[in-house]
């Protein structure tokens, strides 16, 4: 009962800050909802997110053939000669789909990044944004959100980065979205289940 009340409070605060907010039972429901929110053929950038990977949303978008998926395109570009092209592709897609490190009960979203490459689209570069957020990421305020980033998310992401890339992760960039000034741009899907970091 307390979780439902807490999610309702967060959703109300997000709506008050200009975000659309929905409470969904689980990642499977979010996976279906994404198909309603994003039209076929749209250019879509997915963030590097365990929530997206574990839910299957990452695979749906990047391998499903329904969208103009940005991530596979940038992975095919040579980093040394195509850095400018990559930068332009990730900065302004039709949609960015991501998760966050924390969401506050006051209606703010907190994203952390090692490279910062996915932050421009989330900050406003993408025409539309959808964030899928597991219940465990709800915190009271920004102080607790920053503590969660450093004490919880970073150690898990660091272990993942070591295993996948052979190098550590770091909190080199932080993005705090306190409000969405463009009505209809940002949609938050709050899940009743725990998923991701």
Range of the domain at 82: 2-191
User: CB count, 10 Å around CB of 158?
Assistant: 16
Q: Do residues 17 and 179 make contact, with C-beta atoms less than 8 angstroms apart?
A: yes
What was the pLDDT predicted at 35? 96
Domain presence at residue 197 = no
Q: Please report whether residue 59 resides in a domain.
A: yes
How many CA within 13 A on the CB side of residue 39? 5
Which DSSP letter does residue 25 get? S
Round the average pLDDT of the chain to a whole number and report it.
96
Pairing state between β 20-24 and 68-69: unpaired
Res. 112: pLDDT tops 90: yes
The confidence score (pLDDT) of residue 57 equals 98
Say how far apart CA 162 and CA 178 lie, in whole Å: 31
pLDDT band of residue 1 (cuts 50, 70, 90) is low
Residue 103, pLDDT above cutoff 80: yes
State the CATH number of the domain containing residue 43.
3.40.50.10420
Query: Is residue 108 within 8 Å of 176, Cβ to Cβ?
Result: yes
Q: Report, as an integer, the average pLDDT of 58-83.
A: 96
Q: Would you say residue 196 lies in a domain? A: no
Q: How far is CA 91 from CA 62, 71, 141, 151, in A?
A: 17, 12, 28, 29
- Count structural domains, the chain: 1
Which of 39-43, 80-84, 92-96 is predicted with the least confidence, judged by mean pLDDT? 80-84
Q: Is residue 55 part of a domain?
A: yes
**Alpha helices (H) along the chain:** 2-16, 27-37, 50-55, 57-63, 70-75, 83-91, 119-120, 142-148, 154-165
């Amino acid at each position: 009962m307390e979780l439902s009340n807490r999610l309702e409070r967060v959703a109300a605060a997000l709506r008050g800050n200009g975000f659309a907010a929905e409470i969904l039972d689980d990642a499977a429901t979010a996976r279906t909802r994404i198909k309603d929110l994003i039209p076929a053929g749209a250019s879509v950038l997915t963030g590097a997110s365990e929530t997206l990977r574990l839910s299957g949303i990452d695979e749906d978008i990047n391998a499903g053939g329904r969208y103009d998926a940005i991530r596979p395109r940038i992975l095919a570009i040579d980093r040394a000669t195509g850095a400018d092209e990559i930068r332009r592709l990730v900065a302004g897609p039709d949609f960015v789909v991501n998760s966050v490190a924390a969401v506050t009960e006051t209606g703010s979203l907190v994203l952390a990044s090692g490279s910062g490459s996915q932050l421009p689209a989330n900050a406003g570069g993408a025409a539309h944004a959808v964030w899928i957020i597991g219940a465990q990421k709800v915190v009271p305020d920004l102080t607790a959100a920053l503590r969660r980033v450093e004490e919880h998310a970073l150690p898990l992401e660091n272990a993942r980065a070591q295993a996948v890339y052979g190098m550590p992760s770091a909190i080199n960039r932080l993005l705090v979205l306190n409000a969405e000034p463009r009505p209809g741009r940002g949609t938050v899907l709050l899940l009743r289940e725990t998923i991701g970091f």
